[in-house]
Amino acid sequence: MVARGRKRAARESEKGILSPPGYSAIPIKFSEKQQSSHYLYVREHKVREGTKSSWPQKRTLFVLNVPPYCTEECLSRLLSPCGPVQSVELQEKPDLAESPKEPKSKFFHPKPVPVAYVVFQKPRGVSAALALKGPLLVSTESHPVKSGIHKWIRDYADSVPDPEALRVEVDTFMETYDEKMAEEEAKAKEEEGVPDEEGWVKVTRRGRRPVLPRTEAASLRVLEREKRKRARKELLNFYAWQHRETKMEHLAQLRKKFQEDKQRIELMRAQRKFRPY
């Protein structure tokens, strides 16, 4: 496999563009003016048998090294000559699963960063894309892409929020949330005090007598209390051996301190800390 990859890479190097084995490289430029180009490394999206992947097999193109100014629309436009594009998803890392089903709220989630999955409508699009020679141009006369000052001003304008839209979103979310909570509550109420098949009854905090919450902190607190209770019962410095041991303990502390200090002095001496001037 590796050998084959190498051979293929070597073949490509004759054509001038190198690519990692299994990938093909498409040069991409921002505009005509840019001298040297970045390379998109593309591959058909394939997974081993049995691995779950929500991206459709055969029709998905996996793209690496998407330049920072390249947006989803722009990628879609660039690849559309190869065949109609169904969707483009930019991600931070390669990820097998398709992104969460529900659309992300633009108020609560910032945009992710690029590795791209391009889903074509037909498998032919993938092969056409793999054969693409380029160089692709991100910004052209007909479709200028904004960067720099223009982009920032647009971003700023976009960031000025519409309070109404925000309100509507919050309200709908809270409605569904409240519904969900009410449902759960009703379900819990129904189950309350009803034994399961083996006859166990689940005790919840809604019961008549509140129980300890099942948290780590609470259990630690209980342990601590026990320990204190035990410590109170113990007699200290009662027997002679206890006296002896306390003294020895004190001495050991002093020795330990002394060793620590000696180490510090050693270090300071090494750093010439004792040369006053």
Partner 1 sequence: MGPAHKGAQHRGTAGEPEVMVSALEGIGKERKKESSKKRSGSPVEGLLQPVKLSRAELYKEPTNEELNRLRETESLFHSSLLRLQVEELLKEVRLSEKKKERIDAFLQKVNQRIMRVPSTPETELTNQAWLRDGVRVPLHQVPYTVKGCFRFLPPAQVTVVGSYLLGTCIRPDINVDVALTMPREILQDKDGLNQRYFRKRALYLAHLAHHLSQDPLFGSVRFSYTNGCHLKPSLLLRPHGKDERLVTVRLHPCPPPDFFRPCRLLPSKNNVRTAWYQGQSPSGDGSPEPPTPHYNTWVLQDTALESHAQLLSTVLGSASGLKDGVALLKVWLRQRELDKGLGGFSGFLVSMLVAFLVSTHKIHTTMSGYQVLRSTLQFLASTDLTVNGISLCFSSDPFLPALADFHQAFPVVFLDSSGRLNLCADVTASTCHQVQHEARLSMVLLDSKADDGFQLLLMTPKPMVRAFDHILHLRPLSRLQAACHRLKLWPELQDHGGDYVSAALGPLTTLLEQGLGSRLHLLAHSRPPVSEWDISQDPPKHRDSGVLTLGLLLRPEGLTSVLELGPEADQPEAADFRQFWGSRSELRRFQDGAIREAVVWEAASMAQKRLIPHQVVTHLLTLHADIPDTCVHYTGGLLDALIQSLKETSSTGEEALAAAVRCYDDLSRLLWGLEGLPLTVSAVQGAHPVLRYTEVFPPTAVRPAYSFYEQLQERASLLPRPDKPCPAYVEPMTVVCHLEGSGQWPQDAEAIRRVRAAFQLRLAELLTQQHGLQCRATATHTDVLKDGFVFRIRVAYQREPQILREMRSPEGIISLRDTPASLCLERDTRQLPLLTSTLHGLQQQHPAFSGVARLAKRWVRAQLLGEELTDESLDLVAAALFLHPEPFTPPSSPQVGFLRFLFLISTFDWKNNPLIVNLNNELTAEEQVEIRSVFLATRTKLPVMVIITPQDRKSSVWTQGGPSPQTVFRPPLDMYDVLIHLSPRHIPRHRQAVDSPAASFCRGLLSEPGPSSLMPVLGYDPPQLYLAQLREAFGDLALFFYDQHGGKVIGVLWKPTSFQPQPLKASNTKGRMVVFQGGELVMVPNVEAILEDFAILGEGLVQAVEARSERWTV
Residues contacting residue 6 through CB under 8 Å, at least 6 positions apart: 21
**What backbone phi and psi angles, to 5 degrees, belong to 221?**
-60, -45
Q: Is 112 in the site for partner 1 (CB under 8 A)?
A: no
Q: Of 131, 201, 212, 252, which one interacts with partner 1 (CB under 8 A)?
A: 252
Q: Of 55, 153, 221, 229, which one interacts with partner 1 (CB under 8 A)?
A: 153
Q: Is 91 in the site for partner 1 (CB under 8 A)?
A: no
Task: Select 131 or 265, whichever has its Cβ closest to partner 1.
Answer: 265
Q: Which stretch binds partner 1 (CB under 8 A): 67-75, 78-86, 95-103, 117-125?
A: 67-75
What tokens were used for 78? 């660039």
Task: Select 225 or 273, whichever has its Cβ closest to partner 1.
Answer: 273
What tokens were used for 47? 């997974």
Mask: binding to partner 1, 192-221, rule CB under 8 A, as x and -? ---------------------xxxxx-x--
- Cα–Cα distance measured from residue 120 to residue 77, given in angstroms and rounded to the nearest whole number: 12
Q: Of 3, 149, 235, 240, which one interacts with partner 1 (CB under 8 A)?
A: 149
What tokens were used for 268? 């300071």
Residue pair 125/84 in contact (Cβ under 8 Å)? The answer is: yes
Q: Is 16 in the site for partner 1 (CB under 8 A)?
A: no
Q: Sign of dihedral through CA atoms 49, 51, 56, 62?
A: negative
Q: Is 51 in the site for partner 1 (CB under 8 A)?
A: no
Q: Of 49, 102, 141, 162, which one interacts with partner 1 (CB under 8 A)?
A: 162
Q: Of 47, 173, 189, 227, which one interacts with partner 1 (CB under 8 A)?
A: 173
**What backbone phi and psi angles, to 5 degrees, belong to 246?**
-60, -45
Q: Of 50, 148, 211, 223, which one interacts with partner 1 (CB under 8 A)?
A: 148
Question: Which of 95, 97, 89, 99 has the alpha carbon at shortest distance from 66?
Answer: 89
